[in-house]
Amino acid sequence: MKKTPKEAFGIIQDGQLIRMVHLSKDGADTYLLGMDSIQLERDWYKSEEVTAGSADADFIPIDSQHMESDDLDMNNLAMEAESEQAQPRMEVSPTTMMFSKFPLHKGMIALNVHENNILKDQPGLIKKKDLARFRKNNLNQAQLKAATWQSCVIKGEGHSCHWLHTGPNMLLDALQNYAKEANTKLNFKLADANDVVLTDFYRFVYGVEAAGLSLMVYLGHEYRKIFVFQNGEWVSTLPIHITQQFPEADVIYSKLALALDSAQLGEPESIVWAGELANRQLVEYTNSQSASTKSMLLDFPKLIVTNTENEEFNAQTLAPYGLALALAYKALNYEEPVFTKCTFLPNRILDNQKEFRVAWHGFVVLILVFVLVLYATINYLQTQQQIRQEEQRKTELDFTLNRLRAENAIVEELNSEIAKYREITDIIGNLLKDKNRWTEMFDLLNDTFNTYKESWISNLKQNGDRISISGITSERHHVSRLAARLPESSIRSVSNSRIRDQVVWNFEIDFSLPEVDWMQKIASEYVPPRKSSRPASSSSTSTQVNVAPKEPEAQAPLPTPANYRFGMLPRMQEQYIPASHSEELKQDAELAEQFAAFVSAINKGNMLEYRFIGYSLINSYPDSELLPLIRWWLAYRLYLDREFTLAEQILEPNLSSPDSYTPYSLLMRARLEYATKDRNFLQTYNRLIELYPESKARQQAEMDLTQIKAEVIR
C-alpha cells in the first residue's frame, strides 16, 4: 500500500445517490481531474433487490483536455448518437459505467460506510477490556470468527468513544465486483464514517482560523447533520430535521435555528455549508438573516479546477461533492496530524494489499539474509574507509613533500644571497679598516663619562697607539669603573686633592685607540637594532664635549615592559591592507591566476596551501614587482598563525630595499616586535609615522598605538 499516493478517488453512497471525484496531488497543489454521480432507483440498504436507474449518468469532465467545447463538431456528435441508437444496447451496470470512466488502478480509493451500520459505546470506555466487552455484546460468534467488523477509537464531541462497524458495505462490494469484471487490481486507502471524515476535513481547512463557536452543516441526499466546533475542536453533533427533498432557504434556516435553540447554543460566528442543498442562494439568505454570522460554502484548499474562473460558481458546483472530496483529500494527506488514523476496511483487504508478506520461516530467511548483507556491507565500508584514509594520508604527504621542496629551494636561494652579501660586506670592511677610529674614541669617552656624573677630562694626548687621559672625579671608585669601560686600559696614577673643602681625585689612565666595527655598522644599515645595549652616543668630533659635559634634557620615561600587554593585535582593517598596483597582473594571465589563488588561500587560512603557493610565486617570479607584496601577505598570515620567527624571516628582504610597500612592511615589523615583547616596536611605529605621513599604513599604526595605550592604562 502506498503511504503517500499521488492520485486518489473519493467515492460515497448517500441513499440512492453515488458520487465520485478524482484528485491528483503535485507538491502543494491539488488538481481535480474529474467527478461523476449516478442516481439509483432504490437505496442499497433498504431493499435486497436493487435495480439501477438510467445508465446515462451525468459525467462532468474536469481534465483540461476536455475543457474546450469549441473544438467539438456537433454534427459528428449527432452522427455518433444515431449510430449508437442503431446498435443494440448492452445491459451494463451504471456503477460499472461510472467506475470505467476513471483510471481507478492508478490511485488509492477512499469510500464511506453507512452510518446505520456503526455502533457507538459510551464515551470514555476505551480501555482494552471495555473494547472487548463492547464487541462481545454486539457481535455473534460467526461475526467474531469471520472478522467481518472493524472498530476504532474516535476522538470527537469533547471525548473519546469506541465506534464499531458491522454489517455489509455495499459500495465496497460494488467496487470489488467491478475489479473482477474489469480484471484489474484496485488499491483501497480507507473506509471512513461520514461524521469523522467531515469533521477531519473541516479542521484541516479551518482548524487554525476557526476561533469561537462555528458550525459545519452538511445537507446531503439523506445524510444531513450539524457539526458544532469550538475553537476548531469538534464538540458535538446535532440532527437537522428536514424532511423535504428540496426545501427552501428559509425552511433550512429555521430548522437550523431550531436545532441550535434545542441544544442551547448561542449564535455562531461562522457557518460552512456543504452537500446537495448547499448553494449560493442559501449562503446569501443566511448572511441576510444575521449580520454577526459569516456564512460560506465549504472551501477546498489549493484545489485547481481548470474549467471555470468563477469562484462562486466553482464552490457551488463542488458543494454536492463535499463528502467525496473530503475522502479524497484525506487519502492524499493521510499523514497530516489533523486526520484521524482510522479505517473501517476489512483486514483481508488490507492484508491483500501488502506488497510483501512472509510466513514464520520467511522471517528466518530474512534475518539470515539481513545478517549476511550487514556483515558484507560492514566489511566493504571498513575497507573503503581504510582506502580513503590511506589516499588522504598519501595526498597530505605529497603536499608536505612539495612544500618542503619549495621551502628548501627558498632557503638555498636565501643562503646564496646571504653569501653574496657577506662577500661584499667583507670587501667593504677591509676597505674601511682603521678608518674613523678617533670618532669612535670620542663617542666612547662621551658615553663613558656621561654614565658617571661629576667626572671630567682635563688632558688628552696620544702616545703611539695608546691614548693617555688625565681627569678629576668626585668619587674614588669612579676611577676603576671608568677604566673598565675603556679598551685595554691601565690606571697610571690616582691622587687626591681638596678644592674648597671638597675632596677630589686626580687620575691618569691610558688605553688603546678603539677600532670601528664596520661589519656591525653595515649590518645595522639593513636591519635596525632590536635591542640597544647602551644609549646612542653623540657623533660629534669636538673634544669640548668630553671636557665639559652638558646636563641631559629631561625626557618622559617610557613604560617598562611590565606595563605593556605584549601579544597579538586585532586584525588589520581591510581599507588599510596593501593592494596590488602592478601592471604585471594585466599583462601576465598566469601570474594573475596564481596570485588570485594565493590571496584566496591566505583568506581561507589553509597553512599548507598558502605557503606552497607563496613560495612557488617567489621562486617562479624572482624579478616580479609583486614579490614585496607576496612576502608581506605571507608574513601577515604567519603573524595571524603565531609563527613570528618565520614571519620575521620572510619580511626581512622587504626592509632592505625601500619601495611602495615599505610602510606596510614597517607596520608588520612593529606588530611582530610587539608580539615578541621587543620594546623597539615604539621606535618602528614612530619611524613609520614620521617617514610616511600620507600612507594608509600610518592610520593603522595610529590605531595600533591607541590600542596599546588603552591596554597599558587598564
pLDDT tens string 113-154: 998 889 999 988 888 898 889 988 888 888 777 767 888 999
CA 480 – CA 493 distance, rounded (Å): 11
Instruction: Specify if 77 maps to a domain.
Output: no
End residue of a domain, out of 406, 431, 456: 431
Spatial CA neighbour of 225 closest among 196, 246, 204, 205: 196
> Once rounded to an integer, what is the mean pLDDT over residues 343-347?
89
Identify the pLDDT of residue 87: 53
Same domain, 463 and 606: no
Same domain, 581 and 522: no
Identify the pLDDT of residue 534: 37
Instruction: Specify if 125 maps to a domain.
Output: no
* H/E element, 193: strand 187-193
Instruction: Specify if 709 maps to a domain.
Output: yes
Instruction: Specify if 555 maps to a domain.
Output: no
Identify the pLDDT of residue 397: 93
Residue 320 in contact with residue 276, Cβ under 8 Å?
Answer: yes
565: pLDDT strictly greater than 90? no
At 459 the three-state DSSP class reads: strand
Spatial CA neighbour of 110 closest among 27, 200, 26, 227: 200
Same domain, 174 and 304: yes
Bridge partners, residue 34, by sequence: 22, 61
Instruction: Specify if 81 maps to a domain.
Output: no
What string of DSSP letters covers 560-585? PGGGS--SPPPPPPGGGS-----THH
DSSP strand E in 77-158: where? 108-113, 118-120, 149-156
Same domain, 535 and 654: no
pLDDT digits (tens, 9 = 90+) for 189-226: 999 999 999 999 999 988 766 678 999 999 999 999 99
Identify the pLDDT of residue 72: 39
Question: How would you classify the pairing of strands 159-166 and 213-219?
Answer: unpaired
For residue 679, give the CATH number of its domain: 1.25.40.10
End residue of a domain, out of 302, 322, 352: 352
pTM: 0.48
> Which of 73-77, 83-87, 616-620 is predicted with the least confidence, judged by mean pLDDT?
73-77
At 664 the three-state DSSP class reads: helix
Identify the pLDDT of residue 2: 62
Give me the number of domains the chain comprises.
4
End residue of a domain, out of 337, 352, 367: 352
Same domain, 208 and 269: yes
Residue in this structure with the C-alpha cell 617562479, named with its chain if needed = 620
Same domain, 255 and 400: no
> Which of 130-144, 512-526, 662-676 is predicted with the least confidence, judged by mean pLDDT?
512-526
Q: Which residues contact 348 (CB under 8 A, 6 or more apart)?
A: 147
Same domain, 212 and 346: yes
Domain that holds residue 335: 7-67+93-114+169-352
Question: How would you classify the pairing of strands 502-512 and 490-499?
Answer: antiparallel
Average pLDDT across the chain, whole number: 81
Same domain, 441 and 524: yes
Which of 547-551, 558-562, 710-714 shows the highest mean pLDDT? 710-714
Same domain, 201 and 333: yes
Same domain, 421 and 452: no
At 647 the three-state DSSP class reads: helix
Split at pLDDT 50, 70, 90, the class of 28 is: confident
Instruction: Specify if 506 maps to a domain.
Output: yes
* H/E element, 181: helix 170-182
Residue 217 in contact with residue 273, Cβ under 8 Å?
Answer: yes
Residue 206 in contact with residue 339, Cβ under 8 Å?
Answer: no
- CA–CA–CA angle 436, 437, 439 (5° rounding): 70
Look at 203 and 501; give whichever has higher pLDDT: 203
Same domain, 396 and 451: no
